[in-house]
């Protein structure tokens, strides 16, 4: 069983985590005109990298949303950090 690092709870069983999305996308500014292509790219386009990938995960028991960097081939976890602004690890 692999263990993933929650920035708040430490190393926990991988079953407690939920993969949410790839990191790095910004929701289009809906106060401006947003083209269909922009919506498609935001909603559906994935880099889906081989190797190092930066992803948004949720630790289900504590409900914290955080950033985790992993290698998608070796499954090694490289780093994890909180997304909250006030949290400094």
Partner 1 sequence: MTKHYSAWSILKEGLRHHKGWGKAWRTPKPQAEYDIVIIGGGGHGLATAYYLAKNHGITRVAVIEKGWLGGGNTGRNTTVIRSNYFYPESVALYDLSTKLYETLSRELNYNVMFSQRGMAVLCHSEPEMEMAARMVNAMQINGTDAELMDAKDLRKKAPVLNYSNDARYPIHGAVWQGRAGTGRHDAVAWGFARAADQLGIDIIQNCEVTGFLMEGGTCKGVETTLGPIRAGRVGAAVAGHSSVMAGLAGYALPITSYTLQAFVSEPLKPVIDTVAFSPACGAYFSQSDKGGLVIGGGLDRVPSYAQRGNLPMQEAVLSGLVEFAPILSKVKLLRHWGGTVDVTPDSSPVIGPSGVDGIYVNCGWGTGGFKAIPAGGYLFAHLLATDAHHDISRPFDPSRFLTGHLIDEGAASGIAH
What are the residues binding partner 1 (CB under 8 A)?
1-2, 14-15, 18-19, 36-37, 40-41, 43-50, 53, 55, 72-75
Distance CA 77, CA 50 (A): 14
**Main-chain phi, psi angles of 25, to 5 degrees:** -90, 145
Report, in Å, the least distance between residue 30 CB and partner 1.
17
In angstroms, give the least distance from the CB of 85 to partner 1.
26
Please say which residue, 35 or 88, places its beta carbon nearer to partner 1. 35
């Amino acid at each position: 069983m692999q263990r993933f690092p929650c920035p708040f709870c430490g190393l926990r069983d991988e079953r407690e985590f939920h993969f949410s999305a790839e990191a790095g996308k910004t929701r289009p500014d809906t106060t401006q005109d947003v083209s269909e292509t922009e919506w498609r790219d935001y909603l559906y386009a994935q880099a889906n990298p081989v190797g190092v990938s930066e992803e948004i995960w949720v630790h289900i028991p504590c409900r914290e949303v955080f950033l985790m960097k992993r290698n998608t081939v070796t499954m090694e976890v490289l780093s994890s950090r909180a997304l909250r602004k006030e949290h400094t690890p």
